[in-house]
Structure 1
Amino acid sequence: MNDQAIGIFDSGVGGTSIWNEIARVMPNENTIYLADSKYAPYGKRSKDEIIALSIKNTKKLLELNCKIIVVACNTATTNAIKVLREQFDIPFIGIEPAIKPAALNTKTQKVGVLATKGTLSSELFAKTSDQYANNIEVIEVIGTGLVELIEEGKIQTPEMGMLLDSYIQPLIKKGIDHLVLGCSHYPYLIPVLRKMLPTHIDIIDSGEAVARQTKVVLSKNNLLNPSNQEGIHTFFTNGSLPVLQEILKKNDLTSVSKAVNF
């Protein structure tokens, strides 16, 4: 099983930010990525819908013989990962907003979280916030419309700039010193955010931590690929193939991308 792929899914192209960290931390591992863009964003869907979509994606990755599945979507993790672990006999890695490092390092005791409605309203997010940010003011902002623009390839556009600015300025005025990105799509907005945010505000996302945890779980289960060859990466999307390819073109890796219905 060791040469089988790491399976990764997200509600679109955003989870490629997680994939990128996985490929960097474990360059010899093969990966298969599902961009479920047809149903993006998950954040505006009901919990039952999110669970059903997560099960659908898991079954597809199991058909493709993946050895572990990374749920590279905050909303899917916070709403569905418990069900996935109960239903499928395979290791799962989840992703959720990195509240803990923000809470531990804040000096102003004020932390901003930019995420989807589905993530912010989830039981797991509430539990994590209660556990790590009891004495911290966590200011939550729902990033309505951001995922849709990213899925349309409109990251560096005036439309994106205006929308993002409307979410960020109130956080700056409230005195945050950390901004937690609670959606795997949002790291692609970091270049835009850097221009908006004062230099003392740190941006935190979960990509590197997820990659490290994936490696730990693979090692514990004796599933690390012993090959010294560069991994082969396959990407599937049920949405716009050009948008996915545009996101991926910066990565000079052995990969193939396809438009398929799943």
Structure 2
Amino acid sequence: MENNEAIGIFDSGIGGTSIWSAIHELLPNEKTIYLADSKNAPYGQKTKEEIIVLSMKNTEFLLNMNCKLIVVACNTATTNAIQELRSKYDVPFIGIEPAIKPAVLHSKTQIIGVLATQGTLSSTLFNKTTEKYQDTKIIEQVGNGLVQLIESGQINSPEMTQLLNSYLKPMIEANIDYLVLGCSHYPYLIPQIKAILPNHIQIIDSGEAVAKQTQKLLSETIGFNSSTKSETVFYTNTDSSVLKQILGNKYKVQEKEF
């Protein structure tokens, strides 16, 4: 089965490039279009209604580019808007939510930590997920300020280190053995997080799982790109310098109002 249209991916900024990277690594022949809605980042502090409106705007941008599949590379948009997107648009959607299940299944202390945005942690979908695991203590921490620092290129700043310490130390003291990263921006903080966490605490993010689900959907119903051309284009509605910095200037980045 073949389908030479692009996979569309959107996030409330540059964080979803961690998801894009996992998809691109697994499916290097696929065309991809990435949409960074950095102007409206972070989604985690917006109302459910605002998140739905922004997610629809992003979806329509990607549908105008004839995308065959849309990956919602944002935990907050997935947990707050994906049901509305699926009911409104006739295109397959893949969402991303905190990978609590593998953490719970492998935890020996039965205590795990989840670092996520307020929008994700307060969502109905997240709460439905956590209700399934009554035997595990789930420590939730809102990562206030982390997305803003990443979006402004301050990943390795003293402010970032200070915030991460304040968020992670109580989890370490509570004896977690797994930390779930519940925001697609946060994988860019893994080196710093590892410097704070003891070696026995495992970190889980959702990139690989989303990439595998994308591959499965293409294989079963949508079709793979059969052309020799696999182009990737990144769009952002703010200054592109931080996005280029993260991508390493290897890809085409366009500033576009949307």
User: What SS class does the counterpart of residue 163 from structure 1 fall into?
Assistant: helix
| 1:92 corresponds to | 93
Q: How far apart are the structure 1 equivalents of 2:124 and 2:207?
A: 22
Task: Report what 2:28 is aligned to.
Answer: 27
Q: Within 2, Cα distance between the matches of 1:92 and 1:188?
A: 24
How far is the alpha carbon of 1:222 from its aligned partner? 3.6
Over 3 Å counting, the alpha-carbon distance change for 1:245 and 1:134 in structure 2 is: same
CA RMSD of aligned residues (A): 1.1
Give, as a single letter, the amino acid of the residue that structure 2 aligns with 1:86. Answer: S
Alignment of 1:169-188 (within 5 A): 169-188=169-188
Aligned to 1:156: 156
Cα shift at 1:240: 2.3
Q: TM-score, normalised by structure 1?
A: 0.96
CA distance in structure 2 between the aligned counterparts of 1:42 and 1:180, rounded to whole angstroms: 19
Q: Which runs of 5+ in 2 are unaligned?
A: none
- Residue type matched to 1:188 in 2? Y
Give distance in 1, aligned partners of 2:232 and 2:88.
Answer: 27
Corresponding residue number in structure 2 for 1:256: 252
* CA–CA distance in structure 2, aligned partners of residues 230 and 77 of structure 1: 30
The one-letter amino acid paired with 2:74 is C
The residue aligned with 1:217 is 217
**Matching residue of 2:13:** 12
CA distance in structure 1 between the partners assigned to 2:113 and 2:182 by the alignment: 10
> Segments of 4+ in structure 1 off by > 6 A?
none
Matched ranges for 1:1-262 at <5 A: 2-131=3-132, 133-227=133-227, 229=228, 231-249=230-248, 252=250, 255-262=251-258
Q: Identity over aligned residues, as a percent? A: 60
Contact 2:116–2:141 under 8 Å retained in 1: yes
SS at match of 2:155: coil
The answer to whether the 8 A contact 1:27-1:230 is kept is no
Contact 1:55 1:84 in 2 (8 A): yes
With the length of structure 2 as denominator, give the TM-score of the two structures: 0.98
Runs of 5+ consecutive residues of structure 1 not aligned to the other structure: none
Report the Cα distance in structure 2 between the residues aligned to 1:99 and 1:49, rounded to whole angstroms. Answer: 26
| Structure 1 residue 230 displacement after superposition | 5.9
CA contact (8 A) 1:37 1:151 kept: yes
Q: Which amino acid aligns with 1:23?
A: H
Q: What is the alpha-carbon distance in structure 2 between the residues aligned to residue 63 and residue 122 of structure 1?
A: 29
Deviations 1:220-242 (A, max 9, x none): 11421124x36210000012200
CA distance in 1, matches of 2:195, 2:40: 31
Give how far 1:28 is off. 0.1
Report how many aligned residue pairs link the two structures.
257
Distance in 2, matches of 1:128 and 1:97, equals 9
Give deviations 1:109-156, integer Å, cap 9, x for gaps: 10000000000000000111112x220000000000000000000001
